[in-house]
Chains A and B, each alone.
Chain A
Amino acid sequence: MVETEYEGIVKMLRFFVQTKNFSYVDRIGNALNPEPVEVTLLEALRAFRSIRESASIGGDGRRYVEKDGNKIPVPGIPSDEEVKKFLDDVRSDMGVAKLVATLALSYPSKKENSGGDEWCF
């Protein structure tokens, strides 16, 4: 998988894409200035926390949600350092937001079984 400095955010947005909720990734990818990115990330993190807390825990101890009969792994919550760096970088270069949204829409080059480092945060 392509490494970026915003891996947690990419994984979180990819999770929303897998659950067919394109709203956050579209709003971040299409933003023309930093404000929509900030608000969207806040909303995405809030929704993601709620989903993660109510997600089922499988036999392997990992969290997942079921959608259309598929089990979708719930990745970890992005770290505060990563979120801050992302927002700081977006304020100086809007291309960062587009990159993150584009990566979230792509297939990861390596299969993500767990969906992310859910134990780390």
Chain B
Amino acid sequence: MFLSVGVRFEANVEALNMVETAGNYGKHRRVPYLVEEDGKLKTVYVPAISGESLAHAYQEHLVREALSAGLPVCDDCQRGEFYKSMNKVHLGKKVNPIPDDPKAIEEAIVKACVVEDVGGFLYAEKPPVRRSSAFQVSYALPVKSVALFATSEPQLHARHAQMDASSKKGNASEQMIYYVETGTALYGFTFNLDLDAVGVSAITSKPVLDGDEIKKRREVSLKALFRMLSSSQFGAKLSRFFPVGGITELVVAVTDHPFVVTSPIYDDYIEKTKRRLEVLKSFGEESFLVVAGEEKVPEEALKEAIDYLNEKGAF
């Protein structure tokens, strides 16, 4: 089973993805973006949130859900440090001695850690072992039709220190001013989850875990997505720049084989997704689609998708 989610969310005054600090200036991630104006394409620079940032948040939620379900998560991942068995030092914590066979290495990692099972890894030693992530996530980018209204603006802040003549050293200032570049946009991103890849070897395509364990892992993978979207716990600087806004629209498609919803950066993405699924139906492929907007809240739509997968025996 393959799950694909398109999310639109409004975020005002957010600092979800900062890229670097130069002096007293913290910059928001920005990307070049093609927009059409007066029948011509042009490039504009818009605030963006990287897929890495969203993937990191998802995996942090996956850690929590897996642990609360009593599933294994390695020490590195429990700390939110997703090294993913990248070398002998990290792999050695899971399996010792380290086997020579790539299949045995993959099996040991998958069995030891849900995050590396679902999120993939690259063991860059001899022999190298690679496991693709079962989930995929796009950058979050402004919706095309309103991209020109997206802003990336520095906000001035100051930190103040009470200093009298005795405590003042050198040319230290009582006030330290700094700028945080904040973004404001209606963002869209896509999240895909290949449930068939969970607990299955990327080398042999055969299960490396028993059926019950695979079902539990699929369930926590979905719950982690639910929690991430429901709680808006993704991105950086939430402590002082928690975005004002929330999910405005969400579409979830569940199919037997890989199918990705039309990107929510386009205004007609729900209609297009429906039409594309109709074509799949004509091939005899079963599918499920639920939309959250004015009538349904995102949680209701996600719950319906999870219930559908449950009925289909995915977990």
Contacts and interface: CB of A to CB of B under 8 A. Distances in A.
Contact of A36 (B23, B27, B43): B43
A39 B32 CA distance: 10
Interface string B16-44: 00011011110100101000000000110
Contacts of A93: none
Contact of A43 (B24, B27, B32, B42): B27
B45 interface: yes
Interface residues of B, number: 12
A35 B22 CA distance: 22
A20 to B, nearest CB: 11
B25 A50 contact: yes
B22 A51 contact: yes
A50 B24 contact: yes
A86 interface: no
A51 B45 contact: no
A47 B32 contact: no
Contacts of B42: 35
B87 to A, nearest CB: 22
A54 B23 contact: yes
A50 B22 contact: yes
Contact of B20 (A47, A48, A52): A47
A4 interface: no
Residue from A43, A48, A52 with most neighbouring chain B CB atoms (10 Å): A43
Contacts of A35: 32, 42-43
A49 B27 CA distance: 14
Nearest to A35: B43
B43 A47 contact: no
B159 to A, nearest CB: 14
11 contacts: A23-B19, A23-B20, A33-B43, A35-B32, A35-B43, A39-B30, A39-B45, A48-B22, A50-B23, A54-B23, A54-B24
Interface of B: 19-20, 22-25, 27, 30, 32, 42-43, 45
The 5 lowest CB-CB distance pairs between A and B, nearest first, are: A50-B23, A47-B22, A54-B23, A50-B25, A35-B43
